[in-house]
Chains A and B, each alone.
Chain A
């Protein structure tokens, strides 16, 4: 099983700040199969960034993703209040699909 470790577990940022969260895999993942989800409290996860760096429909351009191999990241160039959520990475490098433990982003 390919274990995904996200860091930090919780982060706090002020509006306008740039933030970066990371996702590290125990084994290499094809960049085509590393995805990110946003989940707000009480809601379902939303497909957010797919195949490492492609924004899903409706995702603001202040979000970006990068990485390769075992190390991936999600960056928000200028955080806004609406970005408060938990972000999960997910991979497919063979069964089972796995998710990271999530990074909770709080807005000051």
Chain B
């Protein structure tokens, strides 16, 4: 079955960068957009952007341009998000999710990023 397995929780210093992975199994990785979503307590769900692994094409929410960078490795069926210049506002759970027909039909388990000095 379709599964997305994300890397583990990260504790980061302010100003640092972090890279989160999302390994896909059970479907043809290169043919679906992979989405990234941020969730902070009290802030609901925010769409960060997406990558199409087959071509490397990306779309970013304007709010996250300069903050997030997406990459994908079709040889290992893995997508990545890198977050740079971390601040306390970046402390959140980050999810990858597969896109289908404008919806997100399968989600990873989430990766908690904590930014603290």
- List residues of A whose CB falls within 8 A of some B CB: 32-33, 35, 37, 44-47, 50-51, 56, 88, 90-92, 95-102
| CB-based contact B102/A92 at 8 Å | yes
**A98 with B47, Cβ < 8 A, contacts A44-B107, A44-B110, A47-B106 known:** yes
Once the chains bind, are B105 and A44 in contact (CB under 8 Å)?
no
B101 contacts partner chain A, Cβ-Cβ < 8 Å: yes
Residue of A nearest to B42 (CB): A101
A98 to B62, CA, bound (A): 12
Taking CB atoms, residues of chain A closer than 8 Å to B14 are none
Contact check, A88 vs B104: say whether CB atoms are below 8 A apart: no
Also in contact, A96 and B44, with CB within 8 A (given A33-B102, A46-B107, A90-B104): no
The answer to whether A99 touches B46 (Cβ under 8 A) is: yes
Give the total of B residues in contact with A, Cβ under 8 Å.
21
CA distance in complex: A35, B102 (Å): 8
A88 to B97, CA, bound (A): 15
Task: Enumerate chain B residues within 8 angstroms of A47, measured Cβ to Cβ.
Answer: 103-107
Cβ of B106: which chain A residues have Cβ within 8 Å of it?
47
Give Cα A95–Cα B44 distance, bound, in whole angstroms. 18
B67 to chain A, nearest CB (A): 14
User: Do B44 and A90 touch (CB < 8 A)?
Assistant: no
| Residues of the B chain whose Cβ atoms lie less than 8 Å from the Cβ of A56 | 105
Complex contact B44–A100 (CB within 8 A): yes
**Pairwise interchain contact B101-A32, C-beta atoms closer than 8 A:** yes
A50-B105, A97-B47 known, 4 other contacts, Cβ within 8 Å = A44-B107, A45-B107, A46-B107, A99-B45
B109 in contact with A50 (CB, 8 Å): no
